[in-house]
Structure 1
Amino acid sequence: MTSYDTAIAAAKAISGKIGLDIQVIEITDISVLADYMVIATGNSSTHVKALADEVEYQLDKAGVSVSHIEGYRSNSWILLDYIDVIVNVFSEEARQFYDLDRLWQDGKPVDLTGVVD
């Protein structure tokens, strides 16, 4: 599975659990951290956890194991590191505070038409 496929699968998993404002940003040309950054919002701390769990479950099922997880106990920002893809699931307040959308604005947004609802 390519890093693009992993990012799209993560976006689909989040969408399937009604994640909000899902963004996939290609950062290959602007960072050595990863190829793609996935950013999404949950509507409660329980929802944030459920979204992160679903991403981990769906990608594991596809044969892609998470390398590292941060913030699982906080439930306001959970980061799943898949080496070439970093998935960030935020509460609405945390997403506004950390503003990763602005931080990665020089990346290339991936068109998710037909991928997420």
Structure 2
Amino acid sequence: MQAEQLKDIVVNALEDVKAKDISVIDVRDRTSVTDYMILASGTSNRHVRSLADSVVTDVKEKGVRYANVEGADASDWILVDLGDIVVHVMMPATREFYDLERLWRDAPSMGAAGSE
């Protein structure tokens, strides 16, 4: 599956479970680790966990076999590594504290989606 298709599946999965402030950052020219970073916020620890679960479920249904999840126990910040896509689902305070968008500010932004 191409990174573009995977990106769309991830964004749709996040939108389906009402993620807040979805941001897609194109890091292809900045790192060889991944192609896109997708950030989203949840409204509670349970919501953060549901968002990450939704991503994993949807990509597996589409045939993606590799999905490594880190941080599911804490639920302030869950990272879903899909290879070409790394998804960061966070509580708003955690997202503000680490400010990953600032770290990647020179990378092309694909815009925000799913903001409510």
For the aligned pair, the TM-score class normalised by the smaller chain equals over 0.9
Which residue of 1 is the match for residue 41 of structure 2?
41
| Matches of 2:61 and 2:108, distance apart in 1 | 28
Backbone CA RMSD of aligned residues: 1.4
**Matched ranges for 1:4-19 at <5 A:** 4-19=4-19
Contact kept in structure 2, 1:69 and 1:79, CA below 8 Å: yes
State the SS of the aligned residue for 2:56: helix
Contact kept in structure 2, 1:56 and 1:66, CA below 8 Å: no
**Matched ranges for 1:85-96 at <5 A:** 85-96=85-96
Contact kept in structure 2, 1:66 and 1:80, CA below 8 Å: no
State the SS of the aligned residue for 2:80: strand
Unaligned runs of 5+ in 2: none
What is the number of residues matched between the two proteins?
115
State the SS of the aligned residue for 2:65: coil
Superposition deviation, residue 66 in structure 1: 3.5
The answer to whether structure 1 residue 107 and structure 2 residue 107 are counterparts is yes
4+ runs of 1 displaced by more than 3 Å? none
Contact kept in structure 2, 1:56 and 1:65, CA below 8 Å: no
Output the TM-score relative to the length of structure 1.
0.92
| Matches of 1:66 and 1:96, distance apart in 2 | 29
Output the TM-score relative to the length of structure 2.
0.92
Superposition deviation, residue 112 in structure 1: 5.7
Superposition deviation, residue 111 in structure 1: 4.2
| Matches of 1:8 and 1:60, distance apart in 2 | 14
| Matches of 1:112 and 1:103, distance apart in 2 | 17
Letter in 1 for 2:43: N
Superposition deviation, residue 64 in structure 1: 1.1
| Matches of 2:77 and 2:66, distance apart in 1 | 16
Identity %: 34
